[in-house]
Amino acid sequence: MSDEFRKGLKDGVPIALGYLSVSFSVGIMAVSGGLSVFQGALMSLTNVTSAGQFAGIQIIAAGGTILELILTQFIINLRYALMSLSLSQKLSEKMTLWQRLVVAFANTDEIFAVAMSHQKSLTFPYMVGLQSLPILGWTLGTILGAVAGGILPKPLGNALSVALYGMFVAVVVPVAKKVRPVLIVVIIAAVLSCVIYYVPIFSGISAGISIIICTAVAAGLGAVLFPVEEEGE
Amino acid sequence: MIYVYIAVMAIVTYLIRMIPLTVFRKKIENKYIKSFLYYVPYTCLTAMTLPAVFYATGSLASAAAGMAVAIILALKERSLVTVAAGACVTVFVVEQVLHVMA
């Protein structure tokens, strides 16, 4: 086992634990939406995305059309395109096309967050290690949720559900502390996100679209106001 | 029929992730695009965390406490695991305290 792979595995542990808890609710929802345990597990294994799956299950349960499904998935998951674009700049130049095809599979919010906070350029063994346990956790949690319903006591579930947010904080805060422009764009994104969430006229904007708007507007303002001269790392 | 839906979801999601990762293999030179991409992770993670985190637990108070502890630990530059665990433990403890007090 290479060092890079082992490091990836280790960095993936907290993500996998967080996923175990989140995907639990995906499993419960899948079964109540009319999917079998196997179908729920298959969806998690092949999609590895929370918001997209939540929406997909709702559409399946409501008997929606394929076109509706495609549009929803596209909009909700569009943020991954931004993340992949960002990630592609950080991948080792030595990575081959087929390795990139593999690495693209589970570029989730959390894996992206950890990958971007990695100090060096990203190698294939590291990325495979990083993705392995979260994919396993995500699928396993879905199966557990689908099979066992309320197996996890509520207080424990509540506590685990902030694990992912804690990781986001661990990625954003240290950089915002040191780099003033990052602090400013982060504040812009936070304010914008809260405005869209709380101000009634924006209530028609879904969570997925809100993320796209906040991400693009705040990062766009950052690029115009504080262009990074050389490699911003 | 459900399998068709699952397959379509998987394909759309994969293509969105895969195309930007394989097409843009050359380093981007444009200063503004590079800057935009540099800021994206931070703005995206922030937008996903706020205000959603406040509704992720059993109460606003426990979520806010967990978030506060996470921020303090992150300011001290503790590891990902420590920050995440600190947030979880805080939420658990605060909810137990609230439960006893209620």
Among A150, A171, A192, the domain boundary falls at A171
Q: Are residues A104 and A151 in the same domain?
A: yes
Q: Are residues A166 and A199 in the same domain?
A: no
- Domain extent for A202: 179-227
Q: Are residues A149 and A35 in the same domain?
A: yes
H-only helix segments in chain B: 2-23, 31-49, 60-75, 80-101
Q: Are residues A138 and A222 in the same domain?
A: no
Q: Please report residues of A whose CB lies closer than 8 A to that of B37.
A: 82, 85-86, 89, 219
Angle A37-A38-A39 from CA coordinates, rounded to 5°: 95
List the structure tokens of A32: 């109540």
Q: Are residues A208 and A151 in the same domain?
A: no
Residue A126 domain flag = yes
Q: Is the peptide bond before A125 cis (omega within 30 degrees of 0)?
A: no
List the structure tokens of A117: 């906070």
Residue A232 domain flag = no
Chain A touched by B97 (CB under 8 Å): no
Residue A163 domain flag = yes
Chain B touched by A166 (CB under 8 Å): yes
Q: Are residues A48 and A90 in the same domain?
A: yes
Q: Are residues A197 and A163 in the same domain?
A: no
Q: Are residues A214 and A135 in the same domain?
A: no
Nearest to B51 by CA among A177, A197, A107: A197
Cα B59 to its chain centre, rounded Å, is 19
pLDDT at A221: 97
Identify whether the C-beta of residue A104 lies closer than 8 Å to the C-beta of residue B22: yes
Q: Are residues A151 and A206 in the same domain?
A: no
Residue A61 domain flag = yes
Count other C-beta atoms under 10 Å from residue A65's C-beta: 10
Nearest to A110 by CA among A140, A134, A84, A76: A134
Q: What tens-digit pLDDT sequence spans chain B (102 residues)? A: 899 999 999 999 999 999 999 987 666 778 998 888 788 878 888 988 899 899 888 899 999 999 999 999 999 999 877 898 899 899 999 999 999 998
Inspect the interface and report whether the beta carbons of B41 and A105 lie closer than 8 Å: no
Residue A164 domain flag = yes
The residue of B42, B73, B95 whose CB has the most chain A CBs within 10 angstroms, and thus the best one to mutate to test that interface, is B42
The size of the A-B interface in CB pairs under 8 A is 299
Q: Are residues A14 and A61 in the same domain?
A: yes
Amino acid at A103: V
Q: Give the C-alpha separation, A207 to A200, whole Å.
A: 14
pLDDT at A233: 43
List the structure tokens of A207: 């969570």
For chain B, the distance separating the N- and C-terminal CA atoms, rounded to the nearest angstrom, is 49
List the structure tokens of B76: 């001290």
Identify whether the C-beta of residue A211 lies closer than 8 Å to the C-beta of residue A194: no
Residue A203 domain flag = yes
Nearest to B83 by CA among A46, A113, A123: A113
Q: What tens-digit pLDDT sequence spans chain A (233 residues)? A: 689 999 999 999 989 988 887 788 788 778 878 899 999 999 999 999 987 887 788 889 888 889 888 988 887 788 888 889 889 989 998 899 999 999 999 999 889 989 998 888 999 999 999 999 999 999 999 999 888 755 667 787 778 778 778 878 988 999 999 999 999 999 999 999 999 999 999 988 776 678 778 888 999 999 999 998 765 44
Residue A206 domain flag = yes
Q: Are residues A52 and A122 in the same domain?
A: yes
Q: Please report residues of A whose CB lies closer than 8 A to that of B54.
A: none
Structural domains in chain A (count) = 2
pLDDT at A232: 43
Interface predicted TM-score (ipTM) over 0.90: no
Q: Are residues A14 and A82 in the same domain?
A: yes
Residue A104 domain flag = yes
Chain A touched by B3 (CB under 8 Å): yes
Q: Is A77 exposed, middle or buried (0-12, 13-18, 19+ CB in 10 A)?
A: buried
Chain A touched by B19 (CB under 8 Å): yes
DSSP string, A136-203: HHHHHHHHHHHHHSS-S-HHHHHHHTTHHHHHHHHHHHHHHHH-HHHHHHHHHHHHHHHHHHHSGGGT
Inspect the interface and report whether the beta carbons of B2 and A34 lie closer than 8 Å: yes
